[in-house]
Each structure stands twice: as C-alpha cells, then as structure tokens.
Structure 1
Amino acid sequence: MKKVAFYTLGCRVNTYETEAIAETFIKHDYELVEFDEFADVYVVNTCTVTNIGDKKSRQMLRRAKRINPESCVVAVGCYVQVAPEEVEKLEDVDIIIGTKDKGKIIELVEEFERNKRKIKHVENVMSIRQFEELEIDEYQDKTRAFLKIQDGCDRFCSYCLIPFARGPVRSRKPENILKEVEKLASNGYKEIILSGIHVASYGKDLKDIDLVDVIEMIQKVDGIERIRIGSVDPTFFSEDKINRLKNIEKFCPHFHLSLQSGCDETLKRMNRHYTTEEYKIVVENLRKTFEDVSITTDIIVGFPGETDDEFAKTYEFLSKINLSKMHIFKYSPRRGTKAAEMKEQVKESIKENRSHKLIELDKKLEEEFINKFIGKTMDVLFEEYNDGYYWGYTKNYIRVGTSFNKDLSGQIFNVKILESRENKAIGRVEMEVK
C-alpha cells in the first residue's frame, strides 16, 4: 500500500480541502501517514496571506523531498496560484496545482509516476464561475466538521492577494450542502463550522438564498447540535439577519468580526467597507440580542501610513469595545497589492512594538471575558484529552478543561466553570446533555 502525507497552511478552507483530498487518496488505497514519516506522495496545501506563509510553504516542500528523495511532492493552493513560476523553479516540487481542480490530484500524481516529468496545472481563476465540489465522508476530528460552502472574494482589500488566488465569489448549491451535513450527522458529528473565503458573500451568485438561509436549513438536521460560522464581514449583520439568527436554537453565539484597524483613516486606505462607528453598532446589536455572546476579531498593525496617532486611535477603540479575543498580525507587504506600493511603509521595530502592546491588551480582555462565566454552568462539546484534562468548547467558544474518570470526547456535558487559568476555563462536569 502506498503512503501519502499532508501539510496544511492557512485558513479553515484549506483545512477542509486537505481533508477532502486526503479522502480521495484513501479511496484509491493510499495509507495516510504523518508528514514527518516516509511517504510515496507528499502534499503541501500552501498559503499566501503573508510572506511567512510563502516561506513556510517552501520550507515544507523542501522537507518532504529530504524525507524521501524518490517521493512525488505536490504543491497546491493559494501560493501556487499567485506565484506559479516561483514555485515551478523549486527543484523539490514535482507537481504544482493552483486553487482550481484540486479534485484532479490523483490523476496528476499517476501521470507524474508514469512520465517522471514536472507537471504544472495552474489555470486562470478569475474566469471561474462554478463552485468546485470536494465532498468529505470521514473527518479526522470526530466532533467538529469544517464545511466549505463558498469560495472566492470580490472585496479587494488593498493589502490582500486572496481575490487573485481564489477568484470571484462562488457558492455551493444548498442541496449539496444539506447532503453533506446529513452525511456528517449520520457519522456522529455534532458541530458544523460553515467556512468560506468570504463566507458572508454566500448566495451572491445564486438566486434567493443567503448565509442565514443555509443556517436555518441545517438547523433542521437531526444529530447536528451546533452550527458555527467562520470569519464574517461586519457589514453582513443587518438587524434583520441578527434577529433571524437569534431564532436558530443550534446557532453558536460566537462571531468573528474582522476589524483590521480601529482607525477610520487606516480602514479607508485598507479599502475596508465600513467605519469604526458602523462596526461598533454591529457589536452593540449582537450583544443586545445574544446572551453570553463572544465577539473576536483580527487586527493588522503597521499598515502603510499608520502613524502613532492612528495606532493610538486603534488602541483606544479596542480598549473601549472589549472584544473577547483578538488575533494580532504585523502588516506584511504582498507584491501585486496596492498597499505594497504605498509610501510611508512602517519600520519593523515599530510594528513589533505595536503588536506587543495589542497582544498584552488582548490577554487582559480575554481573561476578563472568561472570568465573567466563573460560577456559571455551560454546555461543553469535548474534543480531546491532554495534560490530565479533557478539553472542549462552549457554544461561545471558551476553551474548557475538566478532569473526569471516563472518555468525554465527542460528547456534550454541562460543566460548571470554576476558574480561569492562562486564558482557558477549568470546570467540573455536572451532567451529560441528552
């Protein structure tokens, strides 16, 4: 039996696509092994959001060939799509595939094994109009399943290459979404995480359907206990959509609202389509509507032209709005974007300093958020065991650990939160949720 190994960089969509590709190999009688083990085929699903993503992608491709010089090494995904010539020059790579036709990977591997010649399969994604189906029957994670329902982006933020890597918005047909959800439910999955490159755009290319319609549809599937959504643009959340979501019992009150900056001048240069005041109104509406709501975000520091005054506005805005978690990124110039050509690029030392300040603020805000739930009893879907604790997540995405005398994995229990420890919660099991 031939062996195949995978390494995934980047977002949840990449995670989903890797799972689907892995399943294709398994169905063709390959054995799935860890990436640092000897394999016949290595697949690296690349990321190009930052320069670090590009660099890491190259490192993993080289590492694969060192483990087995006779292996077939496949580079696939966003980095390949935006820099095909650069990836093609890497001696350690045998097959390069962009973000289209990932489902053809087996036949391309078979072609390489016959001819032993490098294969380049990168097409123009800007002309694609159809969602590429990559179904998954069996996930490695037995509790939560990422479900890709959308691809592409038409926002063209000035710092981002993703629209060029993924092409225009394409939505998965609702009947195909429902079919996969039902299959996942029958295999014991309790939580579905709806993912996409710009998931709020779901339905833009279809007729009379949007993201909330899909959530309402999944709500009716027996066996699915939770529905969660990935990162969503704040402009999506009209009062009507918020009220509809409130009536979906299985919907998780956890919203990842991408902000990027707390300064309107910076947001304008980023080509973001909202102001800080509009963002604040959405946050307030969500807090009024959902009990125990968790709102998380992404922040970029050191964007071109970000002055000390602009950063101070961001820091003040974040201090006042009290989000439950922030992911802090230092701006990384991407060749081919408008931001990379902007004057007044910020020094790395300044980015580092600003990043450190926001990371410290994030630790404080996250601890304050978790502390609000000490003494409360919350539903926790347990996933794994390590360091003497079973770990899982509440509906509002607090990581909770508990010690127990039987395996809790894949089950939902009522847990009383007893303490906060290193921005995680520790609790005591009260009873199983039937």
Structure 2
Amino acid sequence: MRVALDTLGCKLNQAETESLAGQFSQSGFELVSPDDVADIYVANTCTVTHVADRKSRHWLRLARRRNPQALIVATGCYAQRSRQELTQLADLVVDNTEKEHLVEIVQGLRLEGRGLGEGGTKQSQISATARTRALTKIQDGCHGLCTYCIVPKVRPHEYSLPVSRIIDEVKQKAALGYKEVVLTGTKVGSYKDAVLSASEGFSANLTDLLRRILNDTDIERLRLSSLQPSEISSELLALWQGERLCRHFHLALQSGSEAVLQRMKRSYSLDEYQRALNSIKEAIPEVAITTDIMVGFPGESDEEFEQSHSFYQQAGFANIHVFPFSPRPETAAARMPKQIKSEVKEKRKQRMLELSQSCRRRFCEQLLGQAIPVLWEKETRPNSGIYSGLTNNYIRVFAHSERPLSNVIAPVKLVELHDQGIWGEIVNENPG
C-alpha cells in the first residue's frame, strides 16, 4: 500500500506531516513521493491566504488525476475551516482536532473494505533519504486577536506538549541520524508544560524546555521557529552562549507602521519590537534575524507604507518574507473599509522584495572570509560533487567536495556571493 503525503503552509504543518509519515511507515505503508502513483494521497492543507486555499485545491485535483482509484485525504487548516467545500475534492476530510488519529482512520477504512488493499512491508523510499533536519512540534493553537488572521479559528485550542515527550522525540530524531531539530508550534514562545509546572512548582516555559533539551539530549543543532517580541528575555538569550542553539531568530513584525500595527491588533509597538531586536543582536554575535511584512493591509496609506519601508530598511534583517494582504473569511480585516487595490499591493510587494534581496546580500557580505560550520544536506545535482547546506544562522551555502557530505556538519570558508546564498570552500576534506 503506497501513501504520498505533502505539506502546504507552515513549519508546524511540516512537523505534523513528518509525524504522520512516521506513523504510516510504522503501520506497514510504503511512503512515496507526491509525484508518484499512490494508493493514498494525503494533503496537509493551509488556509492562511486565498493563494494557500487555491494551492490546496490544486494539489487534491492533481492527486485525483494521478490515480483516480486512490483514496484522497485532506487534513489541516483548510480542512478545519471548509470541511464541506473539500468533500467535493477529497474522499476523506480530517480536521486538525482529528489529525493525530488520521492513520488509524485510514486503517479503519481499509478494514471496512473501502477499496484499500493490505498494507505492505517494503522499506519506505522517503524514510531512507538523507536525514539532516527534523521538525518537532512543541505547541499548538492560538488565542490571538490579530484582525487579519484565520489561525485562531482553525487552531483554537492552545496547548503545549509535555517536556518529557519532546525530549523523547528529540532523542529519537538524533538516534535516527538527524543533526538538527527545529522546534515548531503556532506560538512557540507561549510554550508551557502545565504538568511539569504543577509537579515541580515553577513555570516550565520555553527557556526551561530548551535547557532540558540541551542537557538531556545530544542533538547537535537546535533551532526555533517564529517568536514574538514579548517572548524575548535575557534568560532565554543566555542559552545562546553555547554552540548548539542556532543563531537565527524569526521575529514576527508584519508592518513598520505604528498605525497599521494597531489596526492589525498586534501585541507590540514598534518601540517594543526594536528593543527585542536590539537585545538579540547584543547577546548573540552575527545572529540572523528574519521577519515578515504584510503589504496592502486595509487603509495602508502611501505614507504608512513608506514608514514601514524605512523601518525595515534600518532594522538590519537578514531576510524579509514579503506577502500581500489576503482577506480571510470571518476575520475583522476582511470587513474593514479602504481595501487596497491589487495593483497597489503588487507595487508595494515588489519594493519590499527588492529591499529583502538587498538585506540578504548585505548580511551575507559581512560573513565573507569566515570559516563557519555548515550542515550539508545533499548534492545540488546527482554526481555533481556540489553540495548545498545551511549555516546555523540560516545562510544557504554551496561548495564542491570530492567526499560525500550529505548530513555532515563540516566547516567551510565563505568566499563569494551566490544568487541563493554564498559559495564556499571546504576547510577540511576529511570531516568527521
């Protein structure tokens, strides 16, 4: 029985898809690429923008064309928001509250004789691929009030996974050969293990979790996904004195205009954001700070956009993720007056993309001449000898090596800018 899974959207979705893949594999299913013919196709959908909705529908239609007899499964946030809509494209719709039981549901359908054959025992093609970076879910749900965001409606139940369970999963990832684990969640910075807090008499927060992972596991690199400015503390930043925590923060912003932030109902001011930015840079040398910007939020005037552009320009980001405002059903922003025309959004998007490219280039230039460890992922083309990997501050590096480097952390001297990052020279051709 061949199953193909794919992820649309955020790192949390990716982590959940990895977990589903592991469950399918352990249950005797053969994992194959979404481009292959499969008996079961599973799309972990996203609904954060109308484009994400469209991509999710397109994926489901493609799966149906690849194998009209296959079981097509839709899960994730789009499935949570629009179950009835997706029943026209998928045989089975599993919302976020049922997602962790998806494999059991599919097996139940098989036992009921719903056109599914027996699961096989063939070694998974996907699980045998090089393991470098794993995603581990630590938290889910959001109670935020951001006026543009659909997430609180599709992931409304905020909870954190127990420290013990996360520690066990990180150990398992390390034992499987992963060199890096990325901790993911809807609001990673709000992590709190209520059970541990009650038993040990203190609040087991994100800082405590990181300290436990560093002390109790031997994972070589540990990375965080997105944080909010209010979640940055001196206690948290002190953990970066060691080498295992990656020097990369994704610090959500969305706009550099105070007035726009207020209309978005973000939980911080520009001053608070700047203080968090400064704290990170002062505590961690050569840290890469990446962020987001939403252009064309309702009512965003030319002056407010220029204010935003100016703030991003002076902030010193390593990269900026740019996206236009997309009105989502049942959100306050979708009903706001002064919706921005598409052509205006596009012009502002292009200006911010140009700024993002400039920021990325400037950050990379500062690193030239240094020797930095890189987690090498794979060859860019089979038998080319050219490998691609990431520094711990999230810079894409390319280098030629006569030796296999996949899933090896090896130092490289950064020598020249590349369209997608930096070209380097391997310092030691006998990496351990």
TM-score, normalised by the number of residues in structure 2: 0.91
Larger displacement relative to structure 2 (214-223 or 372-381): 214-223
Indicate conservation of the 8 Å contact 2:374/2:391, yes or no.
yes
Q: CA deviation at 1:247?
A: 3.2
Indicate conservation of the 8 Å contact 2:376/2:408, yes or no.
yes
Does the residue aligned with 2:378 lie in a helix, a strand or coil? strand
> Structure 1 residues 220, 282: closer, same or farther in 2, change over 3 A?
same
Amino acid at match of 2:305: F
State whether structure 2 residue 211 is matched by structure 1 residue 213: no
What is the rounded CA distance, in whole Å, between the counterparts of 1:250 and 1:84 in structure 2? Answer: 42
State whether structure 2 residue 325 is matched by structure 1 residue 336: no
Amino acid at match of 1:421: H
Amino acid at match of 2:425: R
Which residue in the other structure is 1:188 paired with?
177
Which residue in the other structure is 2:395 paired with?
398
Amino acid at match of 2:234: E
Indicate conservation of the 8 Å contact 1:170/1:205, yes or no.
no
Moved over 6 A (4+): none
> Structure 1 residues 433, 170: closer, same or farther in 2, change over 3 A?
farther
Which residue in the other structure is 1:353 paired with?
347
Which residue in the other structure is 1:71 paired with?
70
The answer for unaligned runs of 5 or more in structure 2 is 116-126, 198-202
Which residue in the other structure is 1:383 paired with?
377
Which residue in the other structure is 2:417 paired with?
420
Q: CA deviation at 1:222?
A: 4.8
Residues 101-130 of structure 1, C-alpha deviation per residue, up to 9 Å, x if partnerless?
A: 22322332244443649xxxxxxxxxxxxx
What is the rounded CA distance, in whole Å, between the counterparts of 2:79 and 2:332 in structure 1? Answer: 20
Which residue in the other structure is 2:190 paired with?
201
The answer for unaligned runs of 5 or more in structure 1 is 118-137
What is the rounded CA distance, in whole Å, between the counterparts of 2:241 and 2:313 in structure 1? Answer: 31
Does the residue aligned with 2:244 lie in a helix, a strand or coil? coil
Which residue in the other structure is 1:176 paired with?
165
Which residue in the other structure is 2:6 paired with?
7
Amino acid at match of 1:28: S
Which residue in the other structure is 1:19 paired with?
18
Does the residue aligned with 1:177 lie in a helix, a strand or coil? helix
What is the rounded CA distance, in whole Å, between the counterparts of 2:380 and 2:410 in structure 1? Answer: 18
- Pairing partner for 1:271 from 236, 242, 265: 265
What is the rounded CA distance, in whole Å, between the counterparts of 1:346 and 1:140 in structure 2? Answer: 45
Aligned pairs for 1:53-202 (under 5 A) are: 53-88=52-87, 90=88, 92-113=89-110, 114=112, 116=114, 142-202=131-191
- Pairing partner for 1:227 from 219, 222, 226: 222
Which residue in the other structure is 2:124 paired with?
none
Indicate conservation of the 8 Å contact 2:377/2:389, yes or no.
yes
State whether structure 2 residue 318 is matched by structure 1 residue 321: no
Residues 176-232 of structure 1, C-alpha deviation per residue, up to 9 Å, x if partnerless?
A: 111111122222221111110111110075521111111111112453111110011
Residues 247-280 of structure 1, C-alpha deviation per residue, up to 9 Å, x if partnerless?
A: 3431111000010000010001111011111111
Count of residue correspondences: 411
Does the residue aligned with 2:411 lie in a helix, a strand or coil? strand
Amino acid at match of 1:288: E
The alignment-based identity, stated in percent, is: 38
Which residue in the other structure is 2:361 paired with?
367
Amino acid at match of 2:417: S
Which residue in the other structure is 1:429 paired with?
426
Indicate conservation of the 8 Å contact 2:180/2:223, yes or no.
yes
Indicate conservation of the 8 Å contact 1:189/1:223, yes or no.
no
Amino acid at match of 1:50: T
Which residue in the other structure is 2:294 paired with?
300
Indicate conservation of the 8 Å contact 1:303/1:331, yes or no.
yes
Q: CA deviation at 1:410?
A: 1.0
What is the rounded CA distance, in whole Å, between the counterparts of 2:130 and 2:239 in structure 1? Answer: 26
Q: RMSD between aligned alpha carbons? A: 1.8
Which residue in the other structure is 1:283 paired with?
277
What is the rounded CA distance, in whole Å, between the counterparts of 2:94 and 2:420 in structure 1? Answer: 40
What is the rounded CA distance, in whole Å, between the counterparts of 1:181 and 1:140 in structure 2? Answer: 19
What is the rounded CA distance, in whole Å, between the counterparts of 1:270 and 1:170 in structure 2? Answer: 24
Q: CA deviation at 1:150?
A: 0.5
Indicate conservation of the 8 Å contact 2:149/2:328, yes or no.
yes
